[in-house]
């Protein structure tokens, strides 16, 4: 039997292991931590359960596909579709509930922001068209294969390049709206891949279609269930996981990877797949191998600073599973994150509350709040000072938007900053890709 080695048991690593196992390989996954899932992890503290990582679930059929590879094994993974994708708040009292249904979104957005229905409808239709033109290339095919670039879908995308918004920033594309709040709402989709709307290309306007066209979903029992259901399936079908065994080197011969080295030994494999971040893969595991210099020098995405709060009483009926409290100065916030490598004093705050859907995630009468702001990666900043200041600014923002005093409700707290993200997941500069799980699972 041919053998395969996968380095890292994040979502991509588990998905790769399942696909290789389906093809008949004997698969072993090596993981530095004592758990599978990578960023899709969870903790329990003082009676609260918190998803540690990404909190927005789209394209659930990609997870279903993995479970369907082994139809003889019962799947314990299920999910629901949300009618409301997100609740948005501004300090002036404006509140907007973003419906997942296209027509409902157009109607409510037009009423809330005094914007033309035709303009909003055209924007969403353009988002759908851009998604459909590019999904085959980026989500359904392998970018390392020449056949991808000579396909009909790729040629169609090239022909329609002028329609993809490649020559404008996302912010420039979104200035089609007269109301700056609606521009800000659609600008936030740049953060789904850790970008700034003032720098990323307008093609990123395809992302809203994921929510308004395809839908926002919630896995039963939380995001952690995605990785755990796949891990359980992998165990059932014979994938071996070696936890707390870090890979120190990828062994190769004549430009072909032939195995790995760990502190416990040397392992040979017919296929070697690294699910680690590309930067530590080359810098730590392939030290003597020629580096893709331009790729490694590319700017990293933004990271995140997250407060996990328990003790908050279940009295915030205006909040739902996903909530955004917007900064009053969006351009300045991104300037601080990407150019000054620090945190703005008026951050946009994202609040995820899984106990709205899974009551067992918090004690009776309480809620579990995942409170996140976008942050720069770790460049050696004084994080202790930044975290203290950010906590004050986040509480101020919540109090203004929700007309409350949230600090008196917080009895349990856990903090995850870019240093912890990088340490736990080997993500260089702690890139986080928040708050969305939009999974590009490998095909074989």
The whole domain housing 142 covers 103-214
Judge whether 140 lies within some domain.
yes
Give Dmax over CA atoms of the chain in angstroms.
65
Spatial separation of the C-alpha atoms in residues 249 and 231, rounded to whole Å: 25
Judge whether 370 lies within some domain.
no
Judge whether 118 lies within some domain.
yes
Length of the chain: 444
Spatial separation of the C-alpha atoms in residues 418 and 323, rounded to whole Å: 22
What DSSP element (H or E) covers 58?
none
* pLDDT of res. 246: 96
Residue in 211, 181, 209, 207 with CA at minimum distance from that of residue 194: 207
pLDDT in tens, 129-154: 988 887 766 665 555 554 544 454 55
Three-state secondary structure call for residue 427: coil
Q: How crowded is residue 154: how many other Cβ atoms within 10 Å of its Cβ?
A: 16
- What angle in degrees, to the nearest 10, is found between the helix axes of 152-159 and 117-139? 140
Judge whether 148 lies within some domain.
yes
Question: What is the domain count for the chain?
Answer: 1
Judge whether 28 lies within some domain.
no
Judge whether 13 lies within some domain.
no
Residue 96 burial (10 A CB sphere; 0-12, 13-18, 19+): buried
* pLDDT of res. 296: 78
Judge whether 369 lies within some domain.
no
* pLDDT of res. 139: 61
* pLDDT of res. 314: 83
Residues in the chain with pLDDT < 70? 136-163, 165, 429-444
* pLDDT of res. 157: 52
Judge whether 201 lies within some domain.
yes
* pLDDT of res. 146: 46
Rounded to a whole number, what is the distance in angstroms from the first to the last CA of the chain?
A: 17
């Amino acid at each position: 039997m041919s053998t395969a080695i996968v380095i890292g048991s994040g979502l991509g690593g588990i998905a790769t292991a399942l696909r290789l196992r389906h093809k008949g390989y004997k698969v072993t996954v090596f993981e530095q931590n004592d758990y599978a899932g990578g960023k899709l992890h969870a903790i329990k503290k003082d009676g609260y359960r918190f998803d540690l990582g990404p909190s927005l679930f789209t394209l659930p059929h990609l997870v279903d596909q993995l479970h369907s590879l082994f139809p003889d094994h019962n799947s314990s993974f299920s999910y629901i579709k949300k009618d409301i994708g997100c609740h948005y708040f501004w300090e002036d009292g404006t509140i907007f509930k973003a419906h997942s249904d296209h027509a409902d979104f157009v109607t409510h957005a037009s009423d809330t922001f005094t914007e033309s229905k035709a303009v909003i409808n055209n924007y969403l239709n353009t988002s759908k068209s851009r998604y459909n033109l590019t999904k085959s290339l980026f989500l359904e095919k392998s970018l390392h294969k020449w056949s991808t670039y000579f396909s009909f879908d790729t040629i169609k995308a090239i022909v329609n390049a002028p329609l993809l918004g490649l020559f404008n920033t996302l912010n420039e594309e979104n200035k089609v709206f007269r109301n700056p709040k609606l521009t800000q709402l659609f600008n936030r989709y740049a953060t789904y891949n850790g970008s700034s709307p003032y720098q990323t290309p307008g093609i990123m306007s395809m992302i809203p279609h994921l929510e308004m066209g395809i839908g926002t979903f919630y896995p039963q029992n939380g995001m952690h269930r995605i990785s755990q259901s796949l891990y359980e399936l992998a165990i059932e079908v014979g994938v071996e996981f070696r936890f707390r065994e870090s890979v120190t080197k990828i062994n190769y011969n004549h430009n072909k990877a032939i195995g790995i080295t760990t502190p416990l030994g040397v392992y040979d494999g017919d296929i070697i797949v690294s699910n680690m971040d590309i930067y530590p893969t080359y810098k730590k595991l392939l030290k003597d191998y020629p580096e893709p210099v331009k790729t490694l020098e590319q700017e990293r995405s933004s990271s995140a600073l997250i407060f996990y709060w328990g003790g908050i009483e279940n009295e915030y009926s205006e909040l739902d599973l996903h909530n955004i409290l917007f900064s009053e100065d969006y351009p300045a916030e991104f300037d601080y994150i990407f150019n000054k490598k620090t945190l703005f004093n008026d951050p946009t705050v994202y609040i995820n509350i899984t106990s709205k859907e899974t009551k067992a995630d918090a004690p009776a009468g309480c809620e579990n709040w995942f409170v996140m702001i976008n942050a720069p990666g770790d460049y050696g900043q004084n994080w202790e000072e930044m975290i203290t200041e950010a906590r004050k600014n986040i509480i101020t923002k919540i109090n203004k938007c929700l007309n409350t005093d949230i600090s008196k409700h917080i009895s349990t707290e856990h903090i995850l900053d870019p240093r912890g993200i990088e340490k736990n997941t080997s993500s260089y500069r702690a890139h986080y890709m928040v708050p969305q799980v939009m999974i590009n699972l490998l095909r074989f």
